[in-house]
Amino acid sequence: MTERLIDSLASTDALSAVFSDASLLAAMLEFEVALARVEAGRGVIPATAADAIAGAAVPDAFDAAAIAIRARASGTIAIPLVDALRARVRATNPAASTFVHWGATSQDVTDTAFVRCLVRANAILEPDHLRLVDALRRLSERHATTVMLARTLMQPAPPTTFGLKAAGWLGAARRSGAQLAASFEEACLLQFGGASGTLAALGAHGPEIAVALAQELGLRNTAAPWHVHRDRMASLVTACGVYTGVLGKIARDVTLLMQDEVAEAAEPGGTSSSMPQKRNPAGCAIALAAAVRVPGLVAAFLSGLPQEHERAVGGWHAEMPTVTAIVQATGAALAAIADAVEHLQVDADRMRANITATRGTVFAERAMTLLSPIVGRDEAATLIARAVEDARLGRQTFGAALSASTRDHAALAHVDLSDLDEPDAYLGAAEHFRRHLIDDE
């Protein structure tokens, strides 16, 4: 059965295709064909057997639904797949059928085929990552001097720049994207160990066949089979978890900026079924949904790590749906946020206006740094509190109110508060940090 509707926000078409029955089936058959070819090349099985196997391994000839059903009885999709392949080989070359899956075990073919799907998934994620990083860099450069409220605990704080905010997003995306790419590289390995992880059925040929098979399939080989040592796959899914969280942070910020009362930035978004005037942050919804789902999926993977002896019962069987869901959610979030950032509408005027709307109260900290060294913290606090109150009640701005009270104050009269409320004058190292983040590849 398909569950495209239920999973519609949890994947992309391209990623869905990667993990589809057709794709996995093809990858499994490619494993069996490559194995036969490599074994035939080393004289382990007859060359005619390899040809017969290659001839029979036509994906369209296999019934994924039937294989899935039979998998429940044997605990693996490999057994019904191999049975079906053997039956097809037998139909044309009975002798060759003996050599189907020669020396391999179920986990060899499923793990390796799945890894090849992951390689393809990585190839889909990578351009979206580059697109996002590029869009963030441009966004940050464009808004290097665009002032806006910082907001801490969702309350207004002294200003920052939108350029720095975007550069912060960029830094996190770049770091977690790099880690994800590295972990794909680490995890995408040939699995080939035979029944017990010793390749005993291949006698002395095991290691060399492994090397050749890895080469044939375009995968890296490892020091030893990793059948029950899933730490590299774990690092891949945790890297997805971190990246999804980073994307969720961008999405959360955008949804907050997109509120009607804030209106500082907006993704193009989607329409509403009942409210014609509305534009919904649909891309952010996809990313935030991923950020909600993926952590639990990561936990599911990690909790399966203590796998029994030379092949786990349960822990291993839990992996494929979990990794698939994680990678698809990550990819869906990445595509959505890359789109959202590429088309983000930024309202610099509104950003400045929202600072002004605080009537200068967000500069209270600045006032404290100016006044307290002169009159001490307590007196400064009293003066500032009074000016904040004036500003709150709308009598005058914080700067004006404070200037009024310092003007006649012996010790403070000389303090220049004329640009106290001026956001551009109180940005500290914002541009310094922004540049470092941009340059920090």
Positions in 6-45 near its own copies (CB under 8 A) = 6-10, 12-13, 16-17, 19-22, 24-25, 45
Nearest CB to its own copies, comparing residues 282 and 404: 282
Question: How many CA within 13 A on the CB side of residue 5?
Answer: 1
**Binding-site string for its own copies from residue 327 to residue 366, where x marks contact by CB under 8 A and - marks none:** -----x---x-----------------x--xx--xx-xxx
Give the DSSP letter string of 134-166.
HHHHHHHHHTTT-EEEEEETTEEEEEEEHHHHH
Closest distance of CB 130 from its own copies, Å = 18
C-alpha to C-alpha distance for 243 and 429, rounded to whole angstroms: 27
- Do 7 and 321 meet the contact criterion of CB atoms below 8 Å apart? no
Tell which positions 73-92 bind its own copies, by CB under 8 A: 73-79, 82, 86
Query: Which of these segments, 60-68, 122-130, 211-219, 400-408, binds its own copies (CB under 8 A)?
Result: 60-68
Closest distance of CB 49 from its own copies, Å = 9
C-alpha to C-alpha distance for 50 and 33, rounded to whole angstroms: 7
Closest distance of CB 408 from its own copies, Å = 22
Nearest CB to its own copies, comparing residues 190 and 239: 239
**Is the Cα dihedral 258, 263, 266, 272 positive or negative?**
positive
**69 binds its own copies per the rule CB under 8 A:** yes
Could you say which DSSP state residue 423 is in?
Answer: G
Among 127, 314, 345, 393, binds its own copies (CB under 8 A): 314
- Cα angle vertex 398, ends 393, 404, to 5°? 105
Tell which positions 188-227 bind its own copies, by CB under 8 A: 194-203, 206-207, 223-225
* Selection from 194, 198, 199, 188 nearest residue 221 by Cα: 188
**58 binds its own copies per the rule CB under 8 A:** no
Tell which positions 160-189 bind its own copies, by CB under 8 A: 160, 164-165, 167-168, 171-172, 175-176, 179
**234 binds its own copies per the rule CB under 8 A:** yes
**320 binds its own copies per the rule CB under 8 A:** yes
Among 88, 116, 137, 249, binds its own copies (CB under 8 A): 249
* Selection from 24, 182, 29, 209 nearest residue 116 by Cα: 24
Q: How many residues bind its own copies (CB under 8 A)?
A: 199
Tell which positions 418-437 bind its own copies, by CB under 8 A: 426-430, 432-434, 436-437
Q: First CA to last CA across the chain, in angstroms?
A: 44
| CA distance readout (Å), 278 to 263, 271, 342, 369 | 13, 6, 21, 44
